[in-house]
Amino acid sequence: MTGFCVLGCGTMGKALLTGIFDSIKEQDEQASKNISVPDKFYACVKFVQEAIEIEKLFAGDVGISVTDEENVQKAAASDVLLLSCKPQGAEDVLGAPGMKEALKGKLILSILAGKTIDSLKNLLDDSTRIIRIMPNTASRIRESMSVLCPAPNATEADVEFAEWAFNGIGRTMKLPEKLIDASTAMCGSGPAFVATMIEAMTDGGVMMGIPFAQAQELAAQTMVGTGQMVLQGQHPAKIRNDVSTPAGCTISGLLALEDGKIRSTIARGIEQATKTASGLGNN
């Protein structure tokens, strides 16, 4: 029996649980061959209102707690904990009386932006293993891009478990911890940036007479298709060249985008979000 407890079950906790439940339902036997697939789930929140929402979402599948005391009990009954409170809340959640004890020998998957492995270790017993992970809200529909950074004390089995859990809700990539703030900007914040681009393309379509709903679908599916071509190995420059007929409409549109500094604006957005992410763990 493996217990999985979400410490801080808000936007991300719910998205991840939704994806993990769907993934378990599909039961890819090959992917879960060497994994202790969780069969007991717990969610810890602060307010009753949130608990009611979780109850509505997952019916009886998740044991819910709203007090420090119950949180500690749920943590003690679990083998793996997903730490998904706000970065500033880590001290409160992990510092609850009895929590450090309850987490001894357990695996913590922390998705807290800006909260380093060292700063988490200061709040935990040496026997608690940590993997930092940066997923995104597309976990809910099992299309997350999640970056994994195992702490030195994480075992191979821990990494296999994390890869199983997060591959089930999208793609994973292992990177060193020094790159997790940039990954936070790209993957964690990324849906907001891409959604802004979808909105901007939609605005353009609406301006040119396409009704909003249709314009939005055209923009979103074009993003999905282009992303898939890149993931299947096509270089973005080739995609761009293939589309750009000499003296055609694509190159004229591209030049207008370049006049607006689209590339450096987007790249600087990632740079800025990376800098902000690196400070989020400092309270």
Ligand X SMILES: NC(=O)C1=CN([C@@H]2O[C@H](COP(=O)(O)OP(=O)(O)OC[C@H]3O[C@@H](n4cnc5c(N)ncnc54)[C@H](OP(=O)(O)O)[C@@H]3O)[C@@H](O)[C@H]2O)C=CC1
Ligand Y SMILES: O=C(O)[C@@H]1CCC=N1
List the single partner that 92 binds among ligand X, ligand Y, none, CB under 5 to 8 Å by kind. Answer: ligand X
By the 10 Å C-beta count (0-12 exposed, 13-18 middle, 19+ buried), 112 is classed as buried
Q: Choose the binding region for ligand X from 86-94, 159-167, 171-179, 241-249 (rule: CB under 6 A).
A: 86-94
* Residue 149 annotated in ligand binding: no
Selected from 73, 136, 172, 274, the binder of ligand X by CB under 6 A is: 136
- The CB-of-248 to ligand X minimum distance in angstroms stands at 38
If one asks whether residue 111 binds ligand X (CB under 6 A), the answer comes out as yes
Selected from 5, 16, 20, 44, the binder of ligand X by CB under 6 A is: 44
If one asks whether residue 64 binds ligand X (CB under 6 A), the answer comes out as no
* Residue 1 annotated in ligand binding: no
Q: What phi and psi, each to the nearest 5 degrees, are found at residue 114?
A: 75, -5
Q: Choose the binding region for ligand X from 128-136, 151-159, 240-248, 253-261 (rule: CB under 6 A).
A: 128-136
From 148, 152, 220, 158, select the one nearest 184 (Cα to Cα): 148
- The CB-of-252 to ligand X minimum distance in angstroms stands at 36
Taking the C-alpha atoms of 201, 202, 207 and 211 in order, what is their torsion angle to the nearest 10 degrees? Answer: 150
Rank residues 14 and 74 by Cβ distance to ligand Y and give the closer one: 14
If one asks whether residue 89 binds ligand X (CB under 6 A), the answer comes out as yes
Q: Cα–Cα distance between 134 and 115 in angstroms, integer?
A: 11
If one asks whether residue 46 binds ligand X (CB under 6 A), the answer comes out as yes
Q: How many CB atoms lie within 10 A of CB 172?
A: 20
Distance of CA 16 to the CA centre of its chain: 8
Q: Choose the binding region for ligand X from 43-51, 119-127, 196-204, 206-214 (rule: CB under 6 A).
A: 43-51
Rank residues 52 and 249 by Cβ distance to ligand X and give the closer one: 52
Residue type, 178: K
Rank residues 52 and 197 by Cβ distance to ligand Y and give the closer one: 197
* Residue 71 annotated in ligand binding: yes
Q: Cα–Cα distance between 20 and 157 in angstroms, integer?
A: 18
If one asks whether residue 168 binds ligand X (CB under 6 A), the answer comes out as no
Footprint on this chain of ligand Y (rule: CB under 6 A) = 113, 184, 188-189, 280
If one asks whether residue 140 binds ligand X (CB under 6 A), the answer comes out as no
E strands of 9-143, at which residues?
40-44, 62-65, 80-83, 107-110, 129-134
Q: For the chain, give me the number of helices (H) and strands (E)?
A: 13, 8
Rank residues 139 and 202 by Cβ distance to ligand Y and give the closer one: 139
By the 10 Å C-beta count (0-12 exposed, 13-18 middle, 19+ buried), 166 is classed as buried
Q: Cα–Cα distance between 99 and 68 in angstroms, integer?
A: 9
Q: Cα–Cα distance between 65 and 43 in angstroms, integer?
A: 6
If one asks whether residue 47 binds ligand X (CB under 6 A), the answer comes out as yes
Binding residues for NADPH: 71
Binding residues for NADP(+): 7-12
Residues that bind ligand X (CB under 6 A): 8-13, 44-47, 50, 71, 84-87, 89, 92-93, 111-113, 134-137, 188
